[in-house]
Amino acid sequence: MSETMRVISQDTFGGPEVLKETERERPVPGIGQVLVRVHAAGLNPTDWKNRSRQLTVAGPLPLVLGWDVSGVVEQVGFGVTLHRAGDAVFGMLPYPEGVGAFAEYVVVPARALVRKPENLDHVQAGALPLAALTAWQALVDVARVREGQRVLIHAAAGGVGHLAVQIAKARGAYVIGTASESKHAFVRGLGADEMVDYRAVDFAETVRDVDVVLDTIGGDYGPRSLRTLRPGGTYVTLLMGGEELSTEAQRLGVTAAAMVVEYDQEGMRAIAELAATGRLRAEIAGTFPLADAAKAHEQGETGRTAGKIVLTV
């Protein structure tokens, strides 16, 4: 095994052109860590937002991005009993400080990873972790979605949204999704019961009595979404809602919660089980070799993709 590895790194913040392929020393796993030989790494909006410094959570420069990983354990550190060399695994690096999956090798806490189901290839597995964990934690851990509830999912064709639709359906919910009309058939194919074309209709005027809203968009979607909830309902956002939103939620008798995804072995086991039984599958919007990471970022930033983009190594 070589002592160096290829990585996609940036020395400055900016557009996709700042991403360069370079070499770094191959890391060594420490206590409780494993070294994974990366086969696939999913892209998420947080990657290009940190690349351009719209977000500043990923750490100092020079920076290697990437939180999603699927690959094979190459080496285990002291104290690791969950995984052995040769195991096919997938998971999310600790967010935000554990960034670095856009590389040939990455060191990961052992408990951030679970066994990859045999029916998933590495591209499918690499597309799931961050987005699926976000959806799982929002719907299950925060909102506690259960059978028979009505769930409104914004941007239902997006990376988090299309997985959230499947997770909500697996929990027995009635799912309403917002998306442009061209994506309605895709989202219905995932199990959505009802679709709203946000370009033609104001969802806040047509959707009523929902138990849970998952909002990945923010802005005025927050206060508008609160109006769709029944008393006692739960609004979950992935963005800062602000004090005004909390005040309005309290006035309406609903709960507003902002969350940040965390690496979570229990959640990853649930995701692996859903994927293994065919109830959860990532839509692959495109794959790019590691060296073409800049092109992958360009496609992701258009905001027009349905599903996930994945780098293959």
Other Cβ atoms within 10 Å of 111 Cβ, number: 18
pLDDT at 195: 98
Q: For residue range 139-177, what is the model confidence (pLDDT) as tens digits?
A: 999 999 999 999 999 999 999 999 999 999 999 999 999
* Residue 103 DSSP label: B
pLDDT at 303: 81
Q: For residue range 216-263, what is the model confidence (pLDDT) as tens digits?
A: 999 999 999 999 999 999 999 998 767 889 999 999 999 999 999 999
DSSP string covering 174-209: EEEEEE-GGGHHHHHHTT-SEEEETTTS-HHHH---
Q: Which two tokens stand for residue 246?
A: 């909390």
Q: For residue range 73-103, what is the model confidence (pLDDT) as tens digits?
A: 999 999 999 999 999 999 999 999 999 999 9
CB distance 174 to 151 below 8 Å: yes
Q: How far, in Å, CA of 10 to CA of 181, rounded? A: 37
Q: What is the average per-residue pLDDT within 17-46?
A: 97
pLDDT at 239: 85
pLDDT band at 202 (very low <50, low <70, confident <90, very high): very high
Helix, strand, coil percent values for the chain (each to nearest 5): 30, 30, 40
Q: What is the average per-residue pLDDT within 28-52?
A: 97
The structural domains of the chain, ordered by start, are 4-128+282-312 (3.90.180.10), 131-258 (3.40.50.720)
Higher-confidence residue: 244 or 70?
Answer: 70
Cα-Cα-Cα-Cα dihedral sign, residues 174, 212, 56, 99: negative
pTM (2 decimals)?
0.96
pLDDT at 241: 67
pLDDT band at 299 (very low <50, low <70, confident <90, very high): very high
Higher-confidence residue: 242 or 297?
Answer: 297
Q: What is the average per-residue pLDDT within 54-59?
A: 88
